[in-house]
Amino acid sequence: MRSQPLSQDHGIAPQKSSVKRGFTLIETVLAIGIVATVLIALLGLLPTGSDILSEAGRSTVGARIAQQLIGEVQLAEYDDIDKFNNQQRFYNDMGTELRSGGDQVVYTARIEIESGNPPIPGAKESEYLRRVIIKVSNNPGNPDFTDPPAGDDGQTKPAKSNYNRYSTLVVFTGKDKS
């Protein structure tokens, strides 16, 4: 049997019961400070990410609308393309065409058919070539399809517009005479 050590007053010395476990107050405050800093930084990114996500959605729906309209023009007879000129169409938030303007309108699209031959560098002029421009606005109240003026520096690069512009060329390939 083992004897217990004596204290200086010749009594039995108290035994150490267990090792101290846990965090000190300083460690806890530092950990909370680090977590709070990271959370504030992440919360600061939410509005930017939300804006980017909604702009990507608007751009995707606008491109889908433009692709649908370009397809319609390309499928039409070449002689009937002018009937599309200056048409305005209305769409809901998912890009589904609506019969008329109303409360559900989110996108407005305008089709423009340029008259004359579009200039193509290095190519001869052709009377069988037309440029189709689709302008899609996500301003449901009163879309402004006017082209913005050229930049102040005199270059031809336009300023930011209130719509997205999509264009393509339509070629007359001839009719079957049989």
Interval 28-40: pLDDT, tens:
999 999 999 999 9
pLDDT value of residue 15: 62
Neighbours of 161 (CB within 10 A): 14
Distance (Å, rounded) from C-alpha 81 to C-alpha 178? 23
pLDDT value of residue 113: 92
Give phi and psi for 111, each to the nearest 5. -105, 130
Looking from the CA of 155 toward its CB, the CA atoms found within 13 Å total 4
167: helix, coil or strand?
Answer: strand
pLDDT by residue (tens digit) across 27-82?
999 999 999 999 999 998 888 888 899 889 889 999 999 999 999 999 988 888 99
161: helix, coil or strand?
Answer: coil
Q: What average pLDDT does range 19-23 have in this prediction? A: 77
C-beta separation of 98 from 90 below 8 A? yes
Q: How confident is the model at residue 178 (pLDDT cuts 50, 70, 90)?
A: very low
Tokens describing residue 88 = 């305005």
pLDDT value of residue 175: 60
pLDDT by residue (tens digit) across 127-147?
788 899 999 998 877 787 877
pLDDT value of residue 18: 63
- Which of 80, 100, 82 shows the shortest CA–CA distance to 91? 100
pLDDT value of residue 99: 84
- Which of 102, 105, 103 shows the shortest CA–CA distance to 65? 105
Q: What is the mean pLDDT of the chain?
A: 82
Percent over 90 (pLDDT), the chain: 33
Q: Is residue 177 over pLDDT 50?
A: no
pTM: 0.67
